[in-house]
Structure 1
Amino acid sequence: MIQTGQKRDVFVAIADPTRRKLIRILADAEELPLHELTEQFQMGRTAVAKHLTILKEADLVKNRKEGRETRYRLNPAPLQEVKDWLSFYEEFWKERAMLLKNILEEE
């Protein structure tokens, strides 16, 4: 469990396919209530809410109360950390592919 003031790692948050699907759904919508998000899954509201809590702890999701309803929206800023990490490996593999291409052309 995350202690107060402690933030969940964004990589841990996106490791689960359900949470990645939630991110994708929220990326296509401005804001959605929990009941609309739950309709997208074969699980109950409590399970979806737990996944949203993990995303919220990683600051990937923001929420607000509107009457009795909680509405969620994506906060994509923390995904920059993932993009930065992946970009290193993208360059790594581009270089390796170029080296392989050069070797194959020489033969």
Structure 2
Amino acid sequence: MLEAAALNTVMRALADPTRRAVYERIVGAEEITVAELTRGSGVTQGAVSQHLKSLRQAGLVIERPEGRHVYYRAQPDGLAPLVDWMGHYGVFWRERFADLRNLLKEIDP
């Protein structure tokens, strides 16, 4: 059940397009501040901070305070529940497509 909760948290965090865009910018940077994330994003600093809070709670980003700044970076292990889930269904669908290919070969030799 804990794994389902973790998966739900990650999926919920990445379901929002703005939050996903913030996450993608963090992934593309070694470290980045809220001010840098806000620049050019079209959303307020307060909104970016709320998105960061959700990403942090989902385990997708970590923060490093330094003086007056807080730096964010991606936490790769945070995607593990999603990767595991996708891996499971990847096997499921590969098997189904293989079965379909075999059936089609039998029908139309």
Q: Please, what TM-score do these two structures have when normalized by structure 2?
A: 0.82
- Deviations 1:48-98, CA, capped at 9 Å, x for gaps: 110000011112111122222221111111211110011111111111111
Identity %: 41
SS at match of 2:73: strand
The 1:102–1:40 alpha-carbon spacing in structure 2 relative to 1, beyond 3 Å, is: farther
The 1:40–1:102 alpha-carbon spacing in structure 2 relative to 1, beyond 3 Å, is: farther
CA distance in 2, matches of 1:103, 1:31: 51
In the TM superposition, what is the alpha-carbon distance from 1:40 to its structure 2 partner?
Answer: 4.2
The answer to whether the aligner puts 1:75 opposite 2:75 as a matched pair is yes
In the other structure, the counterpart of 1:58 is 58
In the TM superposition, what is the alpha-carbon distance from 1:21 to its structure 2 partner?
Answer: 1.9
Q: Kindly tell me the number of residue pairs found equivalent between the two proteins.
A: 101
In the other structure, the counterpart of 1:9 is 9
Q: Which runs of 5+ in 1 are unaligned?
A: 1-6
Q: Which runs of 5+ in 2 are unaligned?
A: 1-5
The answer to whether the aligner puts 1:101 opposite 2:105 as a matched pair is no
Q: Please, what TM-score do these two structures have when normalized by structure 1?
A: 0.83
CA RMSD of aligned residues (A): 1.8
CA distance in 2, matches of 1:40, 1:54: 21
SS at match of 2:81: helix
The answer to whether the aligner puts 1:23 opposite 2:3 as a matched pair is no
- Deviations 1:20-62, CA, capped at 9 Å, x for gaps: 2222221221100111111242111111110000011112111
Structure with greater helix share of residues? 2
